[in-house]
Chains A and B, each alone.
Chain A
Amino acid sequence: MDPVESMVEKPPHSRFEYAVVVLIMAATLLGVTVAFLQTHASVQEDRAARAAEVYAVQMMAEIVRNGYRSDYQASLVYDFISLGQLALARQFGQLAARQQGDSELVAEYEHEAGRLEAMRQALLPYSLLLSDPRYAPQDDSSVPNLQLWADDGLAPVLDLLAQQNASVEKRDAWGAKAGRYVSIITLSAVALFLYGLSLVTKRRVRLVFVGVGIVLTAASALWTLITALA
C-alpha cells in the first residue's frame, strides 16, 4: 500500500454521506456569516451604548454647570433685593428722624440710604436676571422671569437627554438583533450536531437527523434574512 495513501482517510462512499458533508459545509458557512452579522450588531450596540454613556455624563455635567451659573445669578438678585430693602429701611429711618427734628440723624440716614442704593445700582449690569430684557422685571414691583431662565438653562440638558434616550433605543435595538443572531448560531450548531450524528447512525434514523438538520438550517437561514432586513 502506498504510504501516502495510508495517511489519507477513505472518502465517503455513499451519496448520502456526500450530501451530509455538503450540508455540514453549508451550515458552517451560514454560521460564519451569522457570526459576522452578530459581531457587526454587537459593534453597533457598543457604539450606541457608548454614545448613551457620553450623553449621560455630558448631561450631568451640564446640570452641575447650570447650577453654578444659576447660583451666581441668584446671589446677585438676592444681594440686589437685600440692598434695596436696607436702603428702604434707611429711608424710613430718615423720615422718622425728620419728624423728630433730628437733622444730624436725617443726614446720616440719607447718606446710608444713598450708599446702599449706589451699591444696589452697581450690581444691576452684572445680573442677567435683572438687566437682560428677556428675564428682567418689566416694572419695579415684578420679579425676574425665573421660569424662562430655568427653561433656557435646562434646554441643553433636555437636548442631551433626548439624544441619550435615542442612543439607548438604538443600543436596545442592536442588542436585540445581536441576541437573535446568537440564537441563530445556536440553532446552526444544533443542526451541525445532527448532521454529524447522521454520519454515525444507520438506516432510517439518519434520515430523521438529516431532515431535522435541514429544517433547522433552513429556519436559521430564513431567520437570518428576516433579522438582517429588520
Chain B
Amino acid sequence: MTANKGGNRAGSRIETVTSVLIIVVTVLTAAVVWRASVLSSEATGADRRGIINTLKAETAKAQNLAYLYQQEADLAQSHVLLRAQIDYLRRRAGEFAANANGAAVAAILNSEADALLLADQGTVASSPLVADTRYRREDDTFDLDVRLQDIAAENPDLAALDPGEDFAQADRLDDKALYLALTVIIFAVAMFALTLAQITRRRIRQLFLVVGVIITVAAVSTAAGLELLFR
C-alpha cells in the first residue's frame, strides 16, 4: 500500500511538471506567434516604403526627363537654329565681300550675324547641355543620356533611392516570420507529446515527457537562433 502511495505521489509530480511545461510551451508559442506577427508587420512597412520609393524614383526620372526635353533640349534647339543662321549669314557675307560692290551688304549681313551671336551666347549660357562639351557627341549632336545622368545626380537624395533594398528587407523579415511560424509547429508537436504524457500512465508517460521536453528545447533553440542569427 505504501509503495502504491509512493507511486501515486511520483505520478502526481510528473503531472505537475507536465502541466507546468504545457503552460510554458503555450506561453512560448504565443510569444513566437506575437514575434512573427511583429516581423510580418515590419515587412509590410518595408514593402510600403519600397512602393513609395518606387513612386518617388519613377517620378524623379520622369521629371528629370521632362526638364531635359522641355527646357534644355528646347534651348539647344534654339541654339542650333541660331548657329545655322549665323553660319549662313557669315557665308553669304563672305560671298558678297568677294564682289567689288558687295562690301556694304556683307557688313549688314555680318551685323545681323553678330546680333544673333549675342542672342546665342545668352542661350548657351543658360543651357549646360549646350555649354558643356562633355554633352557633345563626335557628330556634334547632343548626348542627352549623359546630361540626363548628370541631372539625376544633381539630386543625390532622389538618386540614392533604392526600392530594391526596401523590398529585400521586406523579404528578409517575411522569411524570418515564416520560419518562426514553422517553429510554432514544433511547439505544437511538443505540446502533443506533453499532452500524451499528461494523459497516459506508467513508464510511457515518462517517455512522452522526455520527448516533449526535447522537442520544446529544440523549438526554443530554433526560435532563439532565428532571432539572433537571422538578420
Contact = CB atoms under 8 A, between A and B. Distances in A.
Contacts of A69: 65, 69
Contact of B178 (A8, A28, A39): A39
Interface string B191-223: 110011011110000000000000000000000
A57 B69 contact: no
B192 A25 contact: yes
A118 B87 contact: yes
A11 B199 contact: yes
B32 to A, nearest CB: 11
A25 B191 contact: yes
B54 interface: yes
B15 interface: yes
B33 to A, nearest CB: 9
Contacts of A12: 199
A115 B196 CA distance: 100
Interface size class of A (residues with CB under 8 A): 35 or more
A219 B42 CA distance: 35
A98 interface: no
Interface stretch (A122-130, A142-150, A180-188, A202-210): A122-130
Interface in B104-155: 139-142
Interface stretch (A47-55, A167-175, A189-197): A47-55
Interface in B42-66: 44, 47, 50-51, 54-55, 58-59, 61-62, 65-66
B81 A122 contact: yes
Contact of B58 (A57, A76, A114): A57
A139 interface: no
Contacts of B89: 115
B213 to A, nearest CB: 17
Given A4-B12, A69-B65, A126-B80, A115 B184 contact: no
Contacts of B2: none
A8 B12 contact: yes
B58 A21 contact: no
Nearest to A30: B188
Given A8-B15, A125-B139, A33 B185 contact: yes
A8 B19 contact: yes
A36 B54 contact: no
Interface of A is mostly: helix
Contact of B8 (A5, A32, A47, A75): A5
Interface in B10-55: 12-13, 15-16, 19, 36, 40, 44, 47, 50-51, 54-55
Contacts of B163: 54
B51 A54 contact: yes
A71 interface: yes
A61 B59 contact: yes
Contacts of B59: 61
B70 A68 contact: yes
Contact of B199 (A21, A43, A72, A75): A21
Contacts of A53: 51, 54
A121 B9 CA distance: 107
A118 B66 CA distance: 28
A29 interface: yes
A46 interface: yes
Given A11-B199, A121-B84, A122-B81, A35 B181 contact: yes
A40 B54 CA distance: 25
A94 to B, nearest CB: 15
A65 interface: yes
Contact of A115 (B83, B85, B140, B142): B85
Given A119-B84, A123-B77, A126-B80, A72 B189 contact: no
13 contacts: A2-B12, A25-B195, A39-B40, A39-B178, A40-B181, A43-B177, A46-B44, A57-B54, A61-B59, A76-B77, A118-B87, A119-B81, A126-B80
List the 10 closest A-B pairs by CB distance, nearest first.
A122-B84, A61-B58, A118-B88, A5-B12, A32-B188, A72-B69, A8-B15, A25-B192, A64-B62, A119-B84
Given A29-B189, A65-B65, 7 more contacts: A25-B192, A36-B184, A54-B54, A54-B167, A118-B85, A118-B87, A126-B80
